[in-house]
Copies of this chain bind each other. A is one copy, B any other.
Amino acid sequence: MGRVLVSGGAGFLGSHLCDALLAAGHEVTAIDDLSTGTRANLQAAGAHARFHFEQADVLQPLCGQYDRLYHLACPASPAQYRRDPVRTLKVAVTGTLHALELAAQTGARLLLASTSEVYGDPLIHPQPESYFGNVDTQGTRACYDEGKRAAETLVADFVRTRRVDARTARIFNTYGPRMALADGRVVTNFIVAALQGKPLQLTGGGGQGRSFCYVDDLIAGLTGLMETHSAHASAPTNLGMPQQISVRELAHLVIRLTGSKSTLADTPGEAGDPARRCPDISRARAMFGFDPKTGLEQGLLRTIDYARGALASAATVR
């Protein structure tokens, strides 16, 4: 049992990670500036005596003695990171630098939450980790994509020059309970629209291929990557669901699972929205048996349950 720091611990992935680490018996400290995460996400974690929360900003240097640092803090959806693109890039770069400095000073093992966005609009499918990507430095999504690319480079340089024991997870689309309902991701957009009987908006024709990994599987990937003894653990590792469906198929599935009478509507595509994105996970599979098992129907049903509850309590508050 160890002492674990989760930066961005009040976020969607961060809070699920805290729950899993607490269930495994660890002493868990979550830090979050609550700019995109919420205290509500930490309700379950807060019931543990082994859980600590600190409102803090990773743009400030980090301190404390931990065995593991999961560095997840960063705005992570286009709706969030475009609000202040300059701050997003700073958080991605300087926040990672602070996490790495702490790891270098204390000997903690670090995991960077990187992203499939480092591949940009990929020209190779599915994407293996060896693919160098296709990112437009000038795009409105670049603050996140280039920020995370630079963060990956910092990790590689700390591994080489300061002997930090670090891992880099390239996280693909993940969904599940506690997703922010208003942050513009396709799964929540569709579920909310279906539950409210509004049209599901298909951008760019809906033919884009997407893969969706259920949050529990993704969290198992993060902890598996953190704890693997592989000699190649420090190279970036894709985590996500290798099966792909089209956005249009997802819309039909959500309508069926919610029993909604919603229709589909076409809206113009968004600039920089990649046509396809699907991980090659053979590296994670070989290294620590990564195997995302939750089927899309099962995962969506749980997410729909969560969204129904969240919408109902939001309506009550109003």
Contact = CB atoms under 8 A, between A and B. Distances in A.
Nearest to A87: B157
Contacts of A93: 89, 93-94, 150
Nearest to A234: B138
A167 interface: no
A146 B146 contact: yes
B153 A89 contact: yes
A138 B150 contact: no
Contacts of A154: 86, 89
A134 interface: yes
A84 B94 CA distance: 16
Contacts of A133: 132, 135, 137
B137 A149 contact: yes
A118 interface: yes
Interface string A82-94: 0011100110011
Contacts of A86: 97, 154, 157-158, 161-162
B149 A149 contact: yes
- Residue from A86, A134, A147, A236 having most chain B Cβ neighbours under 10 A: A86
Given A146-B150, A153-B143, A137 B160 contact: no
A206 interface: no
Given A93-B93, A150-B89, A160 B140 contact: yes
Contact of A157 (B85, B120, B156): B85
A142 B156 contact: yes
Contacts of A157: 85-86, 89, 142-143
A235 interface: yes
A156 to B, nearest CB: 5
Given A136-B132, A137-B236, A150 B152 contact: no
B97 A118 contact: no
Interface string A114-152: 000010100000000000111111111011001101101
A172 B154 CA distance: 24
A154 B157 CA distance: 22
A156 B138 contact: yes
B153 A146 contact: yes
A135 B136 CA distance: 12
Contacts of A136: 132
Interface of A: 84-86, 89-90, 93-94, 97, 118, 120, 132-140, 142-143, 146-147, 149-150, 152-154, 156-158, 160-162, 235-236
8 contacts: A85-B160, A86-B154, A86-B157, A89-B153, A120-B132, A132-B135, A137-B149, A140-B160
